[in-house]
């Protein structure tokens, strides 16, 4: 897909860690659609170095920022507006991390300090980002801000652990802050609820293979890939959906509205 629907638009992309990251594929798709951007990630993620390859390939600048740190976010927004030569049209928040998931802690035995850390990184960082953009008046009217979510915010998936709570909080922030961003600045704020996807964050979920297969067999269109998600985000950043805001948009091949599929029934049928 190479329609230049983001020609002249500029923004910030959070969360490209390696070439499997949803944010990485989104950066490539935005570049193909004519958009310009700054790439950012936590300083610790910079050490892996891969983001610099993406920066070279997409002709973009990298500015490190810990998304939980207001001073970092302020510096990032100021530098991005100055580097890109004006206010922003789009921002992608593609950030998620649970210490409890990483360390294999069961939901019934969580470490609550780790829970608070994961909540700050995965959900509160979105409020911090929105507040920084809002207070600095850094977005152009009809700009679009997207964060990535997962259906565990609404339905129970045993191994998604405290990330389910973080995603519920993230989606609520999108609605609550989106109201003020819409009223005061004509800026859209939405979350995209993406299919399970094989990425560094995705691989942290216990039993991911079974999870992916189950979603694949349940979804009438099959799982949405990271590339599909990137295309959807490009559309959300374009002028083709200027009145879409405060929404949690399912991008999951239909998974979220299926009770059970025939494939799953067949797999469980005894005779």
Ligand X SMILES: NC(=O)c1ccc[n+]([C@@H]2O[C@H](COP(=O)([O-])OP(=O)(O)OC[C@H]3O[C@@H](n4cnc5c(N)ncnc54)[C@H](O)[C@@H]3O)[C@@H](O)[C@H]2O)c1
Residues of this chain that interact with ligand X (CB under 6 A) are 14-15, 17, 21-23, 41-42, 45, 66-68, 94-97, 121, 148-150, 194, 196-197, 199-202
Closest to ligand X by CB, 140 vs 248, is: 248
Residue 207 Cβ, how far from ligand X at the closest point, in Å? 13
Closest distance of CB 176 from ligand X, Å: 18
Please enumerate in sequence order all residues whose Cβ is within 8 A of that of 26, keeping only pairs 6 or more positions apart, or say none: 13, 16, 92, 94, 229, 230, 233, 234
Of the chain, the end-to-end C-alpha distance in Å amounts to 46
161 vs 245 by CB, closer to ligand X: 161
Structure tokens at 40: 């950012």
We find the least distance from the C-beta atom of residue 14 to ligand X, in angstroms, to be 6
Question: Concatenated DSSP letters for 24-62?
Answer: HHHHHHHHHTT-EEEEE--HHHHTT-HHHHHHHHHT-EE
Q: Are 95 and 67 in contact (CB under 8 A)?
A: yes
- For 166, half-sphere exposure in the C-beta direction (CA atoms, 13 angstrom radius) is 28
Q: Please list the residues that pair with 229 across neighbouring strands.
A: none
Measured from the CB atom, is 95 or 138 closer to ligand X? Answer: 95
Specify the residue, 7 or 221, whose C-beta has the smaller distance to ligand X.
221
Smallest gap from residue 148 Cβ to ligand X (A): 3
User: Alpha-carbon dihedral of residues 103, 107, 111, 114, nearest 10 degrees?
Assistant: 60
Kindly state the smallest distance separating residue 94's Cβ from ligand X, in Å.
4
When the beta carbons of 140 and 233 are compared against ligand X, the nearer one is 233
């Amino acid at each position: 897909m190479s329609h230049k629907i983001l020609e002249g638009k500029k923004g910030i992309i959070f969360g490209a860690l390696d070439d499997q990251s949803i944010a990485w594929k989104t950066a490539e798709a935005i570049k193909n659609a004519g958009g310009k951007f700054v790439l950012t990630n936590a300083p610790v993620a910079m050490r892996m170095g891969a983001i610099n390859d993406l920066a070279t390939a997409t002709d973009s600048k990298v500015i490190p920022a810990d998304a939980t740190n207001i001073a970092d976010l302020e510096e990032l927004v100021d530098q991005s507006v100055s580097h890109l030569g004006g206010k922003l049209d789009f921002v992608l928040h593609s950030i998620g991390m649970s210490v409890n998931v990483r360390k294999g802690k069961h939901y019934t035995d969580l470490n609550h300090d780790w829970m608070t850390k994961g909540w700050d990184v995965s959900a509160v960082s979105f409020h911090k980002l929105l507040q920084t953009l809002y207070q600095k008046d850094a977005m152009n009217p009809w700009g679009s801000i997207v964060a990535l979510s997962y259906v565990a915010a609404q339905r129970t998936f045993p191994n998604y652990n405290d990330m389910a709570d973080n995603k519920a909080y993230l989606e609520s922030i999108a609605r609550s802050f989106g109201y003020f961003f819409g009223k005061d600045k004509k800026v859209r704020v939405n979350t995209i609820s993406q299919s399970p996807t094989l990425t560094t964050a995705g691989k942290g979920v216990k039993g991911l293979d079974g999870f992916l297969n189950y979603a694949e067999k349940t979804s009438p269109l099959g799982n949405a890939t990271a590339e599909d998600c990137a295309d959807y985000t490009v559309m959300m950043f374009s002028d083709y959906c200027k009145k879409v805001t405060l929404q949690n948009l399912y991008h999951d091949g239909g998974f979220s509205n299926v009770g059970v599929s025939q494939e799953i029934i067949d797999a469980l049928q005894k005779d």
